[in-house]
């Protein structure tokens, strides 16, 4: 499998260790990842390039999205470019995992009615389970994606239990169902 990873280049000042952890988890799971354009490039490197080199850089990014099976976006630091890349991937029918470590999910995609989008708040401890679940979804190993509305009180409780148990909310819900089935 091949992934395209994107995140804010400016946000590297604050979230580089999270970017690297995401890349490490994906490669550790046997996923080939296009991430050098984020992990090895500085904002000034792009800004100082000629117009032709910036266009070539953009073409390389677009080619990488086209070749990827899915896109992973770390969105804790806002970026119009990341939003553009997410939109490009969705336009091409690619599944997208939107990750954020603080605050709320990106407003443009938080409540988007597209079953190809998975948006998850994470901690370094919950990242492996979130990424594993998403890979099952991408590979078609997930049985069914099930979306439903819950009250704000239920959402707060679910978030609290997920944090308490150090698991993503979806893993917590599945464990409740499995326990009831047993």
Measured CA distances, 32 to 1, 28, 125 (Å):
6, 9, 22
**pLDDT, position 20:** 96
**pLDDT, position 67:** 96
**pLDDT, position 145:** 60
Q: H-helix or E-strand containing 176?
A: helix 169-181
What domains can be seen in the chain, in order of their start residue? Answer: 2-145 (3.40.50.450), 148-182 (no CATH)
**pLDDT, position 144:** 60
**pLDDT, position 84:** 92
**pLDDT, position 100:** 94
Phi, psi of 25, rounded to the nearest 5 degrees: -65, -45
pLDDT, one tens digit for every residue, the chain (182 residues): 999 999 999 899 999 999 999 999 999 999 999 998 898 877 766 667 788 888 888 898 999 999 999 999 999 998 999 999 999 999 999 999 999 998 877 777 666 667 788 889 999 999 999 999 999 889 886 556 666 777 888 888 988 888 888 877 888 888 898 889 88
Cα(166)–Cα(164) distance, rounded to whole angstroms?
Answer: 6
pTM of the model: 0.76
Q: Please tell me what DSSP assigns to residue 108.
A: T
């Amino acid at each position: 499998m091949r992934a395209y990873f994107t995140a804010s280049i400016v946000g590297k000042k604050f979230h580089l260790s999270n970017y690297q952890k995401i890349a490490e988890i994906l490669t550790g799971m046997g996923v080939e990842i296009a991430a050098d354009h984020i992990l090895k490039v500085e904002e000034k490197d792009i800004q100082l390039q000629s117009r032709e080199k910036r266009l070539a850089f953009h073409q390389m990014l677009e080619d990488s999205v086209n070749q990827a099976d899915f896109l992973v976006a770390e969105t804790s630091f806002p970026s119009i470019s990341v939003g553009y890349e997410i939109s490009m991937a969705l336009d091409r029918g690619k599944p997208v995992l939107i990750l954020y470590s603080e605050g709320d999910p990106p407003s443009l995609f938080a409540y988007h009615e597209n079953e190809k989008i998975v948006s998850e708040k994470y901690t370094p401890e919950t990242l492996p389970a979130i990424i594993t679940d998403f890979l099952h979804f991408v590979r078609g190993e997930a049985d069914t994606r099930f979306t439903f509305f819950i009250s704000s009180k239920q959402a707060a409780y679910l978030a609290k239990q997920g944090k308490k148990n150090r698991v993503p909310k979806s893993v917590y819900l599945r464990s409740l169902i499995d326990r009831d089935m047993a």
